[in-house]
Every structure is written in structure tokens, then in C-alpha cells.
Structure 1
């Protein structure tokens, strides 16, 4: 595991975007694993800028997203499909048929999880997987629990995560209580993993991820067992690592 402490959020996003741009350059038909939430927005802006400057070509790229809220359709402005279109896909030359997000409105959510797991497997796995991290150490929507979930599954969101996501919704009651998410096992199959974290609220969970016990109580801690992980943090998120 490599940890890079950057001076600020902007530098973090620039450095992370270069890893993804390099992967696309070396392997134009690569599979990128993508994340949502506020943290990766800056990185996506960097990639859009690279595309506009003709430095990267997304025409053959395939993508798989980590998760989606249960009950939200892709045209809902709080869905993760909408987020990806708005922040990245609408601004680059990617074929949207090659972009994959779980279907949160599937009639059978368990069957949708099985289908999505097969989609990832059919692509030969993810070349570079982007992750954020929750205040409670969750990656994707794999919440702290008693064991590491292996495959894509339906999860009941914790109150901590619901409260953290409430800022994106009109009221707490509007925040979905369930989500579809890649499992830890699926994430760990990615050839390379890049995790981004910024802000003082992430400092303790970053410390626990890097130095604490490997436990499903801190889902991100399992990343220490992966052979190629880079964690980018700003100075606030990395503050406890310096002590």
C-alpha cells in the first residue's frame, strides 16, 4: 500500500487523474471502476480537461460503477447513473453502452446483483478501481459488519451513511435506505486500486485503514492485502499519519 499526502484537494485530484489517463493511454480498451460522491468530482473534472485538450481518448474505454441507490432510476438527479453522466460521461467521447451502473429500479434486486457481478466478470475484471471512503470506513456501500461481503449485493445503509448522504437530498426522509453495491471480493479483484480521501473528518478512518487491524468493522482495512493500492489524501485527511 502506497500513501501519498498532497498539499490540498486539487493536487490530489491531479495526481489521481494521471493514473487513470496513463491506464487509458497504455490500454485504450481498459476497464475502469468508478466511484461517486463528492470526493471524485475534482478528479473527473481533470479527466474532462485532459479529454478537451486531446490528451486522452475514451472511445474504447469500458466502465463499471461501484454502486447505486435502490429505488432511484437513472434520470433521478440523485442517482449514481445521473451523477456519472453529469460529472463525466456527458463531457467525453465514451460510448455510454460501455458504461455500467447497477439498476436500482430492477424488479428483483438480488437478481440484478447477480447480473451485475457477471457483467464485471465478463469484462475480465477491472484494470483500475477508484474508491472513496466513508467516515465509518466503508468502501462502495460495504458498511462495517461482521464479515467482508464477497460479491455484489443489496445492503441496508447505516444511519451514519444515511446522515452523511442527507446533504444531497431535500430531507432525511428522501435518502434511500438500501443500495446495490459491489462486494469487497469484487473490489479486491481489480488489478490496481486508487483511493481518495480529503478533509479532517476522514483522518481517523484513514489512520485505521493504514495502521489499524484488518477487520470488517473498518471495511477499507482489507485494502492492505491488495498488491497494488495507492491512497491519496490531502493534509487534513492524512494528519494522523504524520504523528
Structure 2
């Protein structure tokens, strides 16, 4: 049986505990044995090297050097990591080691909660199979991203809320590798209710399964 660890915490506005419960149930339905912790101290535990998957849900906050060093070593050795929105893409702002794993870092969401479109760029990928472009209402994440990411979906900024980014095409969903580990990220999922959007939930579910060894 594949084993997964969910670590939640950080800024409460992203409803990390509620989202952790949703993902826990999702992974259990997919055959995982799931462990849930609410402290980054879990990342320092040597036993994480035996996991199939790690799901961080920790917006902002801090990670200690020994925690991120052990996490990075686990991913490099083959443990998968799957995250979404600020729970993974705006975690530990002072840790470039962590950002190197995820492949991106949030820097802005002009206009805050707005209507925008998610455009599927890799319909041939198993994560995106059967999913077409879809409208979305949430924070449209502007991110600094790693050029080695394999981008599966994007969004285009209109410039209505920051005129100088008009027409910028920004990755929304990507896959990458960190050593032997698979990394999956989706910028969708500001709060727990967004898991009610079928495309958002399906993308994360498939991405997590892909990442898990």
C-alpha cells in the first residue's frame, strides 16, 4: 500500500485543516494509507524517506534548515510531492531550497478574487485527459516559475488590475522532477470550497497520483 503524509499549517485564510481533510479522504479513496500532521517538524523525520507521497499545505510560515534538508533529500531519493495554491506555492518565503523543489513561488494575485480562464496546454497528458479550457473564480496567481517545469495548463492576464502584465501567459499546472522524485503543482485552490469544482479536484487528484511513487 502506498503511504502519504499531509502536513498542514500556516496562514488560516487558506483553510489548511479543512483542505487537509478533503485530500486525506481523496487519497484514501485512491488506496493510500494517509498520515496527517500539523507541524513542519514532520519534514525532519527520517521515516518520510519511506513514503510514496508528501502533500504540503502550509502557506507562508517558516521551515527550519534540518526540516527542508531532510525533505529535499527524501524527494531527491524518489518520494513524490504534490501541492496546490499557496499551501505549496507560497510556503516558506525565505527558503530557496524549498522553492527549488516546487518549481515556483507566488508573488501576486492582482484583483484578488476574480473570474479568469484556465487553458489546457497538454490535453494529451494523463493528468489533463478529457479536461477542456474552463472558467474559474479565485485568485489568479502570478508566479515566478522554473523554466524546466513541464506546463500542463496556463492562464492569461488581462491587465485590468495591473496594466503592465496585460497578455502575460502564466503557468497554472505543472509537473517536474527533483532528483528521482516527481513534483506536481496546481495554483488552483484558494479555499476548501474550490475542491467542489470538478476540474480543479480532478487535476489535483491525478497529479498527486502521478507524483506518488
Determine which structure has the larger strand proportion and give its number.
2
Asked which structure has the greater CA Rg, the reply is 1
TM-score by length of structure 2 reads: 0.34
Greater helix fraction, Structure 1 or Structure 2: 1
Scaled by the length of structure 1, what TM-score is found? 0.31
Higher relative contact order (CA 8 A, sep 6+): 1
